[in-house]
Amino acid sequence: MAKSIMLFCLVMALISALTYVFLILGILKVGDMGTDEVPAYFYIVPAGYAIGGLLILLKKRWLWIIGAILNSIPIVVFYTAYAGRPDIMLSAAGLITKIAQVLLEIGLIYLIVMSKNNETRAFSEKRQPSTT
């Protein structure tokens, strides 16, 4: 189950990265925002999502935690910066990136919680004396 969630998170990260690349190239438009209005961080974000998506596969809980924190930043920035601009919030690019990022966040939180539960379960099993 965890492996399929990790692969799902990787796909969501890659969808987010590709969407940002399409925005930079002008293939996708965000509302009435022109390609000259694309924020500077759009050039960094795709690499972050591609690298972060691949790092998910390393199965390191601390990387998942950092990834969840970093992934929440563009979600929060988007909704605070463009709250008054429904043309951007409801554009195809806006919806694609945010849906992928929210699903990625849910997947990362699931991995973080389940890995902690597995660590706790393994620890409690070690502490119980064997009856054989």
Q: Which two structure tokens, joined as six digits, stand for 50?
A: 């591609």
CA 126 to chain CA mean position, Å: 34
The DSSP H or E segment spanning 31 is none
Dist. CA 103–CA 69, nearest whole Å: 14
pLDDT for the residue numbered 82: 86
| Token pair belonging to 72 | 């929440």
Q: Which two tokens stand for residue 105?
A: 């966040």
In this prediction, residue 132 carries a pLDDT of 56
Summarize the chain as % helix, strand, coil (round to 5).
Answer: 80, 0, 20
Q: What is the pLDDT at residue 70?
A: 95
pLDDT of residue 114: 93
Q: Per-residue confidence of the chain (132 residues) as pLDDT tens digits?
A: 789 999 999 999 999 999 999 988 888 888 776 666 677 777 899 999 999 999 999 999 999 999 999 999 989 998 998 888 888 889 898 899 999 999 999 999 999 999 987 766 665 566 666 565
Name the residue ranges covered by the structural domains of the chain.
2-122
